[in-house]
Structure 1
């Protein structure tokens, strides 16, 4: 990066957890440089919560124990101290389990991040622009950002840290797009308000978002039948009864194919079982070594992992809060909830507004029709359409400055998290932060990995700024990049 202005502005587009974490760690990383302004563009009133941690729904909890949630990799107890100092769990009796592990409501973690970032805002070392960025374009050696309120802002460096795109409506449900009881985005405000307590519901998807939707329905008193549909009928798995240490080495020797990865995981699972270790330890080892595993795989093998192994990975990797797991288990036993493996074929509504959906159950050729009152789509973000999800992203794509990751997992970037343009070249001052960079970095969806990536990107920016400062002062000593460490 060639940044030579006296005062350097770093603009972070998106102030959810990814953007807020980057802002905090960038402040730490450039603290000794001076002359660096950090501006976060986020329409929400509060930084750090984003889509995941701004939900007011009490039934939505963090999915890992509070002791594993932190803004600071070097301070793992930060969130726990916040809970203790604020008595945030005193009115949430269900948050703490018998073993002492706490799974607070998700909004509590958002409040914690906001509390951590507040001193930076109060001191003026970080600015929060409460407006949506609608256009970004080259401007000399930097960038010009236009916001929805009509303002324009200059930045030397831009980091794209926006939230996940909304789910894509399955093709079979397009005829119902305007139906009042089709919930196309369960994270939208008041998404479940039109659903009655006795409605027969189809939930399309069976992961953590589906579990959150069911928990929210139950809190509202829903007692109607629910079918949760996914291609393989895989549920998000729970946490181990006893904490497990990571088990297995999947980086040495390097894996070169999806089939080799699967074979090594299966071997480790058998060995772990013989040693009294559950599958959790093996999958945790894969997660911790995820970046090295991903880096060693050729592109075509990465695509095979995404297509064939990802559903099984997601079900075991993204574990469910015990409170929600118990709720689902009880609903399955009572018969209220059915987990179904299959696919959507078609859907229609009759004159009375009732819904009729044709399914093809897994392993069967015949069509099964179910009658419903409501449908909730929880299929997850449509990452393949990320560049069309916001106007400024579409504009950068049209200008040839952003491209899709070839694995379909987000935005293409290099090993320093710099965007790669349509000519295959790195864009020095345009970076990708958070899960949108996972096509390059692999495992980048869990909060610990997002935090570590924020530290990494902050280090890359700080290195570039320090190098520019050294050049201005005539220093010839090379500065080390975090990607070389």
Structure 2
């Protein structure tokens, strides 16, 4: 029973409906033994896509071959089979067939995840909770969650902007990635200039960059590569300048033969330097035997989280400072087609890449003046561009975020950054730790917020496992609670009978 002023309680509320949020919901619906009531809350109104797969640009390709992108940890080829069984979807992108090594459009993957959500919803047992589900037991809510407050009865209340509150037994923060942090410059006034574009994923950003004028991209990672691919088709005139500290782009994928594991849980490198030396030695030995260096990097993946957790805070900091910039391009590779197009743009002169550090960004007459120092020649240079777009990577320091939900949770001490400001402070299995270092009961996260705990926690192979394990944990707790409630009711009935 609930009071007339308290919203009725559902089983699970999931905030965020990108890959992580959608797949937690899918796993809950697929594996629940009985009816389960879920609220999936997404302010953008698209469920199952998020930033990564919400693109409509056909040039944006997955960074992993199709046969490795299955959304379930026990079926890596599920997406490959799904794509092959949907020829109409493939033809929409001008594709006649798909191979295990195909790098398919990211938009297609978003459709895949959305279809999994639809299927799980349509085949789930009917819900019994207070929120009328469209079908099955899933309620999709297009609104912004702005607070999560623990209640005295152990439940959690989710405040929704311009909509009724939701009370749930469990809440999942599937927050995904946030826009990049602003460059650290002494003069910060450029932040307020309309020609500085802080969100590289917005439609408005792409429209402005397509204007017939020179533009500057800051950063050279996967987000920058995406933007280059978009502008290659949409920008008819004007140069695309790109500036990054080291000029390191993601390396291209290639089919490789598996390389034997050279780490195990009993023999992990104690320092970042030791890890670097071991990997270099293994690459040299592997290449002598005809292996590709990519196979060595891939052989580390099953142990990367264990290695990270094995290191001290200071050792992790050393890795972030000295090795991460070189590790990322080799570990998070890109589709060869994407890098080939980038090379074509460079050869044609449409794309001009620089290595260096931004010194200042100042407003000019209908343009921005960017001063930077080149890394090799150590010379100061200047660019006049219509727009500067920030592609330096998602902001990981949650204290700097402008997200209303994050700000509110910080203000009441419910969340706290991890010691290295890579994400949130979490316990095993994504449990949220509060300002006092205590577990917040029934409040969880997965994906990017766990970067401080796991480091490798942003790609589908890690995320699909986290989503499945978190769903299993929640279902076990719900089942345990239901059994206890049934036992209590049986005792009450038996006591009444004896009276």
TM-score (norm 1): 0.89
Q: CA deviation at 1:300?
A: 1.8
Gaps of 5+ in 1: 1-5, 476-485
* C-alpha contact 2:84 2:97 (8 A) present in aligned 1: no
Instruction: Give the match for residue 11 of structure 2.
Output: 9
Instruction: Give the match for residue 276 of structure 2.
Output: 262
Alignment CA distance shift 1:399-1:285 (3 Å): same
Instruction: Give the match for residue 202 of structure 1.
Output: 216
Task: Give the number of aligned pairs.
Answer: 465
Gaps of 5+ in 2: 1-7, 123-134, 489-499
Question: Aligned to 1:422, which of 435, 439, 456?
Answer: 435
1:384 to 2:394 alignment: no
- Work out the CA distance in 1 between the residues paired with 2:368 and 2:396: 28
Instruction: Give the match for residue 132 of structure 1.
Output: 144
Q: CA deviation at 1:124?
A: 2.1
Instruction: Give the match for residue 301 of structure 2.
Output: 287
* C-alpha contact 2:11 2:169 (8 A) present in aligned 1: yes
1:151 counterpart SS class: strand
Deviation string for 1:116-154 (max 9, x for gaps)? 111333442222122110121122211111111231110
Deviation string for 1:271-304 (max 9, x for gaps)? 1111111111111122222121122112221222
Q: CA deviation at 1:255?
A: 2.0
2:208 counterpart SS class: coil
Instruction: Give the match for residue 111 of structure 1.
Output: 111
Alignment CA distance shift 1:271-1:369 (3 Å): same
Alignment CA distance shift 1:244-1:67 (3 Å): same
- Work out the CA distance in 2 between the residues paired with 1:212 and 1:459: 35
1:273 to 2:287 alignment: yes
Deviation string for 1:445-478 (max 9, x for gaps)? 1111111111121222233334434555669xxx
1:89 counterpart SS class: helix
Alignment CA distance shift 1:246-1:386 (3 Å): farther
Which range moves more in the overlay, 244-253 or 62-71?
244-253
Instruction: Give the match for residue 5 of structure 2.
Output: none
1:202 counterpart SS class: strand
* C-alpha contact 2:66 2:100 (8 A) present in aligned 1: no
- Work out the CA distance in 2 between the residues paired with 1:239 and 1:278: 11
TM-score (norm 2): 0.87
Deviation string for 1:17-73 (max 9, x for gaps)? 1100111112334x22x3532221112333110111111122212122222112112
Deviation string for 1:394-441 (max 9, x for gaps)? 222222211101122211101121111111122221111222112212
Instruction: Give the match for residue 324 of structure 2.
Output: 310
Larger Rg: 2
* C-alpha contact 2:259 2:291 (8 A) present in aligned 1: no
* C-alpha contact 1:21 1:71 (8 A) present in aligned 2: yes
1:250 to 2:252 alignment: no
RMSD of aligned Cα (Å): 2.4
Instruction: Give the match for residue 247 of structure 2.
Output: 233
- Work out the CA distance in 2 between the residues paired with 1:369 and 1:321: 32
Alignment CA distance shift 1:422-1:250 (3 Å): same
Alignment CA distance shift 1:393-1:180 (3 Å): closer
1:398 to 2:400 alignment: no
- Work out the CA distance in 1 between the residues paired with 2:91 and 2:378: 53
- Work out the CA distance in 1 between the residues paired with 2:267 and 2:252: 30
Q: CA deviation at 1:178?
A: 4.2
- Work out the CA distance in 2 between the residues paired with 1:150 and 1:89: 39
